[in-house]
């Protein structure tokens, strides 16, 4: 029969287990709001190429959903759930620590997507605390009958499929008109002083933390001549000075919300659209842009 101290420790262990499970579930759901943001983070940090990042992002979300749900129950906790959750947290910790030590850490680590921006240092502390909570729960939880391996494997496949169906990896094809409409509706460009239907201008859709965006913004600046360049950008304003330094100089820009930004992309950012009297003469993304193509369109 359990004494009062054992009962307290078991109940506290259950509380910590459920709390870590809730953290995993919140992390998974947050990464889907919007799903493209987490995929972009994987691209920006060099973890995965643009072709693979959307699938890896959804795979991580499915894994966090599975572990979060499993942690809500005691069955199989010591045999499978706790070791698996701890292993994932260790991987996250190693990645965060590397970013901090190398100076490449992002302002927002992406742990909770755009819902709850968190620095890499704060995320590292959070994961270490979660590992401690798992360790305490592991020590103070009795062995349970292990769950057959095929059950979590099948659950993961089902969750991964459900996430793919609900949040398709491919970005919807946005016509150049969508870029023009967003430009015309976004302050400070919405005040009428810049008319997209009159004359020439280039609109760049850039992520401030995206190295490809910086390189292509620089290439546009070196090629555009007297044609003005305007930016519809996404990211932390604190990243703007580095972005414009790498891009070769600042140009007029406006910050977009995640849903606005990703609705303008056909693939991973950037996107560059050259307008002449309201007509899109050139429309390029990260895979198709070259200085030669822009120069040819400007002739």
**11-20, 132-141, 265-274, 288-297: least confidently modelled range:** 265-274
Task: Name the nearest CA neighbour of 183 among 171, 201, 170, 199.
Answer: 201
From the CA atom positions of the chain, what is the Rg in Å? 23
DSSP string, 9-34: HHHHHHHHHHHHHHHHHHHHHHTTTT
pTM, rounded to two decimals: 0.76
For the chain, the residue count is 299
Rounded average pLDDT over 267-292: 91
Q: Could you tell me which residues come within 8 angstroms of residue 173 by beta carbon, excluding any fewer than 6 positions away?
A: 266
In CATH, the number for domain 176-298 is 3.40.30.10
Kindly indicate the confidence band of residue 1, based on its pLDDT and cuts at 50, 70 and 90: low
Write out pLDDT tens, residues 120-147. 999 999 999 999 999 999 999 987 777 7
Query: Hey, which residues does 274 pair with through a beta bridge?
Result: 202, 282
- 3-state SS string over 214-282? HHHHHHHHHHCCCCCEEEEEECCHHHHHHHHHHHCCCCCEEECCHHHHHCCCCCCCCEEEEEECCEEEE
Tokens of 174: 């946005």
Kindly indicate the confidence band of residue 196, based on its pLDDT and cuts at 50, 70 and 90: confident
pLDDT at 172 over 70: no
Exposed, middle or buried, 235 (CB in 10 Å: 0-12/13-18/19+)? buried
Kindly indicate the confidence band of residue 269, based on its pLDDT and cuts at 50, 70 and 90: confident
Could you state, in order of their start, the residue ranges of all structural domains in the chain? 4-166, 176-298
The residue behind tokens 């947050």 is 30
Cα separation, 31 vs 38, in Å, equals 6
Write out pLDDT tens, residues 56-73. 999 999 999 999 999 999
**pLDDT at position 216:** 95
Cα separation, 222 vs 218, in Å, equals 6
Write out pLDDT tens, residues 6-40. 888 999 999 999 999 999 999 999 999 888 888 88
**pLDDT at position 268:** 75
Kindly indicate the confidence band of residue 2, based on its pLDDT and cuts at 50, 70 and 90: low
| Count of C-beta atoms within a 10 Å radius of residue 242 | 12
């Amino acid at each position: 029969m359990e004494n009062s101290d054992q009962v307290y420790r078991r109940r506290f262990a259950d509380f910590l287990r459920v709390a870590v499970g809730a953290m995993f579930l919140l992390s998974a759901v947050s990464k889907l709001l919007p799903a493209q943001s987490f995929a972009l983070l994987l691209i920006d940090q060099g973890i995965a190429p643009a072709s693979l990042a959307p699938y890896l992002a959804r795979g991580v979300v499915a894994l966090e959903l599975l572990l979060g749900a499993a942690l809500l129950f005691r069955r199989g906790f010591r045999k499978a759930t706790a070791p698996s959750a701890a292993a994932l947290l260790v991987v996250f910790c190693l990645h965060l620590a590397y970013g901090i030590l190398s100076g490449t850490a992002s302002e927002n680590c992406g742990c909770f997507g755009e819902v709850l921006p968190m620095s890499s240092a704060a995320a590292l502390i959070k994961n270490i605390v979660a590992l401690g909570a798992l360790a305490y729960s592991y020590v103070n939880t009795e062995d349970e009958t292990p769950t057959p391996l095929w059950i979590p494997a099948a659950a993961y496949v089902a969750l991964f499929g459900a996430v793919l169906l609900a949040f398709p990896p491919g970005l919807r094809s946005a016509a150049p008109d969508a870029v023009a409409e967003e430009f015309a509706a976004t302050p400070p460009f919405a005040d009428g002083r810049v008319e997209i239907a009159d004359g020439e201008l280039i609109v760049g859709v850039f992520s401030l933390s995206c190295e490809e965006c910086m390189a292509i913004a620089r290439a546009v600046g070196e090629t555009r001549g007297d044609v003005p360049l305007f930016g519809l950008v996404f990211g932390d304003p604190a990243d703007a000075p580095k972005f414009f330094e790498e891009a070769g100089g600042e140009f007029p820009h406006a910050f977009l919300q995640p849903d606005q930004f990703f609705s303008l992309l056909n693939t991973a950012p950037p996107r560059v659209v050259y307008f002449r009297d309201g007509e899109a003469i050139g429309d390029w993304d990260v895979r198709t842009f070259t200085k030669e193509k822009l120069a040819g369109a400007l002739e």
